[in-house]
Structure 1
């Protein structure tokens, strides 16, 4: 009996084992999911992922997210809302704020799907990088001083809106200097400036500089004893409208508010330094994340302009030297001013025989009714920059004879010298006419316009702006060229 029971048990085990092989759970892809429950019989899909819930597992679905784009062509095959990723940043184009990854948001990008283009200044359908005349002004970009701004006639206000602001910095002499800057702005509106709450101007106060293009730099020096940095704003604003970045410092101890005649010998020596310090300051402001980032090319240098004592400043900064021997002689004649100027210079420059305050970064000089400051003479021949001198024949401050002597000492046959008829000293600094009167003299609107035309054209010619060499200096019954 016991033997029969054992045999039966063995037989049942063999039978059950055989039956299990015939009726057990099938799993063809060996992913642990029975065929009956597997949403992807043809390929292992152990997690049974089915992104688009179409009953076909992702492992064997050729469109996992069910967006109609085959996985092989879908940059984001598991996102039904995305199929392309142009810049390969892992963010689908439908939700990417910068589809082409060029750093310009789609809303501001004229070519949102072209990583090589983002702007089309003239709206001609050709991106600026490929367009050889971005502003469609007929001047090829290669020779256009402002490739993003159509050119305007030089004898009228320029194409740029003008902003202005004042700043302070500490110069190399340790003195805090206040400067006024005029610059092109892309602002659409602004409030007209009132300089020092005294004098109304045409520029927008506190505007944002437009540094999408580099701008040539011109510095302005005001007159001695009564001047302020903005006193020739009619000219600095006009130049900024033509794309210049113009900066003018207040010369401490030599302005309308703080003039100290006892320090004149010091301020005359410091004035040209104020200009070079101002340019250095602007260079710093144009670098890094600062207000004028990219606005200028530091290596391009600057033009210098000045009125009256500012004319002296412009000329000495441009190379005019002062002879120590001449100061010695005048000092020996009992004139303390010359002694003080000599001693001040020799204290920091012992053993020298010439006062040289030049800056070789200057490329052009404009002197308006210039003053010789009692010290400019034959040293003027050291001025090497192209020079424009304008004055008035009714000037009682720096009279015509003085200015003619300055021009004569330049010994530069190419220097331009124009005389405004019946114009006085303050025709280049109109607030002086308001204060002292210019009755019976040339209308200010005429003198300002002629000055603007001459200065703008002169500087444009030095920069070799296209077409400028074909234009002659303004021809007027009120202006005589010598």
Structure 2
């Protein structure tokens, strides 16, 4: 690998934001939150001492019975029922696998997960990044963000485990499983639908990393050339991570367009909605969202005003909430347009 390989992740890291809830509760139903921890025996952890951990947070319509808890950040919060009972329904719930951006975690996308759960979805948000110890002390970017394709496999592993979960599996509609993500999480969602990275193409066309993280990138490049776990990851970078259970994808501000050739996108055969802000500086529409939309066979592109997630410029909290609410509504509408629910 060279300096330019995956340096695009550096720009995504600069765009990590503290998310806000997109607006007032749309419905009165309670939302439950639960956590699960799994491992993937087919992949090593970064230390090479055991299986890779895969952790998730679930948001779902709840019948109560849990402990009331506030979640959120920067003064924006919502009340959830920790380990609350999943609400009874005559229909199974559509399932959305949700992937966060780089340098982030599942809690940072609560604005979307909570909103979808309010509207009758079961949402599984991945916590791709491990603890500092599990990431071997690497930050900005973490190992998991630098070797970003590993995130797609995390999604499939978590999905398999959830479909066997005695509490949640009977409530999931297997015909309505989708993936959603923001920034690197959006690209993760596209990976699960069959998009294939070309690492050499990414190397040739990615910009150099921002100066503030260039030393970290240099260290990761050296690590990838000497560490056997990292070398194994690089060897599978160009693999297909298509999961046939994923039937639709919502992608907000996907980066890394430079690494996906038209040939690498043509096998994505599910509906895809791509949303991007016209003022996005981290993953600008040209070369990213527009590139994906032009070459994915069943993609639709929506360009909205503002930055929409990659907030680098000052913005009033109320305006940000309104903008994210609009994005959440787009996601809800898109997923509700997909196949009818199973009974």
1:274 matched to 2:154? The reply is yes
Structure 2 CA distance for partners of 1:318 and 1:186, relative to 1, 3 Å = same
SS in 2 for 1:383: coil
Separation of aligned partners in 1, 2:131 and 2:279: 25
Separation of aligned partners in 1, 2:102 and 2:309: 12
Structure 2 CA distance for partners of 1:416 and 1:346, relative to 1, 3 Å = same
1:248 matched to 2:125? The reply is yes
Separation of aligned partners in 2, 1:262 and 1:182: 25
Indicate the residue corresponding to 1:386 in structure 2.
271
From 250, 268, 284, give the equivalent of 1:399: 284
Higher strand share: 2
Indicate the residue corresponding to 2:245 in structure 1.
361
1:415 matched to 2:299? The reply is yes
Task: Let me know the Cα RMSD of the aligned residues.
Answer: 3.9
1:215 matched to 2:93? The reply is yes
* Partner deviation per Cα, 1:434-481 (whole Å, 9 max, x = no partner): xx663269811221221122111110101247xxxxxxxxxxxxxxxx
Separation of aligned partners in 2, 1:324 and 1:315: 16
- Which structure 1 segments of 5+ residues have no match? 1-155, 427-432, 466-482
Report the alpha carbon displacement of residue 219 of structure 1 after superposing the two structures with TM.
Answer: 0.6
TM-score, normalised on structure 1? 0.52
SS in 1 for 2:64: coil
Separation of aligned partners in 2, 1:198 and 1:460: 31
Contact 2:199–2:259 (CA under 8 A) maintained in structure 1? no
Indicate the residue corresponding to 1:372 in structure 2.
256
Structure with higher Rg: it is 1
Q: Report which stretch shifted further, 227-236 or 357-366.
A: 227-236
Which residues in structure 2 correspond to 1:17-166 (within 5 Å)?
Answer: 157-158=26-27, 160-166=29-35
Which residues in structure 2 correspond to 1:299-314 (within 5 Å)?
Answer: 299-300=174-175, 302-314=177-189
Structure with more contact order per residue of length (Cα contacts < 8 Å, sep ≥ 6): 2
Report the alpha carbon displacement of residue 198 of structure 1 after superposing the two structures with TM.
Answer: 9.4
Report the alpha carbon displacement of residue 171 of structure 1 after superposing the two structures with TM.
Answer: 2.6
SS in 1 for 2:113: helix
SS in 2 for 1:247: strand
From 320, 323, 327, give the equivalent of 2:198: 323
Indicate the residue corresponding to 1:167 in structure 2.
36
1:425 matched to 2:303? The reply is no
1:238 matched to 2:123? The reply is no
Report the alpha carbon displacement of residue 296 of structure 1 after superposing the two structures with TM.
Answer: 1.6
Separation of aligned partners in 1, 2:318 and 2:286: 20
Contact 1:324–1:354 (CA under 8 A) maintained in structure 2? yes
Contact 1:217–1:301 (CA under 8 A) maintained in structure 2? yes
TM-score, normalised on structure 2? 0.71
Structure 2 CA distance for partners of 1:294 and 1:452, relative to 1, 3 Å = same
Structure 2 CA distance for partners of 1:265 and 1:251, relative to 1, 3 Å = closer
Structure 2 CA distance for partners of 1:328 and 1:306, relative to 1, 3 Å = closer
- Number of equivalences: 292
Structure 2 CA distance for partners of 1:159 and 1:170, relative to 1, 3 Å = same
SS in 2 for 1:300: strand
Report the alpha carbon displacement of residue 338 of structure 1 after superposing the two structures with TM.
Answer: 8.7
Structure 2 CA distance for partners of 1:157 and 1:424, relative to 1, 3 Å = closer
Separation of aligned partners in 2, 1:408 and 1:356: 19
From 120, 143, 147, give the equivalent of 1:263: 143
Contact 2:61–2:121 (CA under 8 A) maintained in structure 1? yes
1:228 matched to 2:228? The reply is no
Indicate the residue corresponding to 2:69 in structure 1.
192
Contact 2:150–2:233 (CA under 8 A) maintained in structure 1? no
Structure 2 CA distance for partners of 1:441 and 1:418, relative to 1, 3 Å = farther
Separation of aligned partners in 1, 2:314 and 2:183: 17
SS in 2 for 1:175: strand
Contact 1:219–1:303 (CA under 8 A) maintained in structure 2? yes
Report the alpha carbon displacement of residue 266 of structure 1 after superposing the two structures with TM.
Answer: 6.2
Q: Report which stretch shifted further, 449-458 or 396-405.
A: 396-405
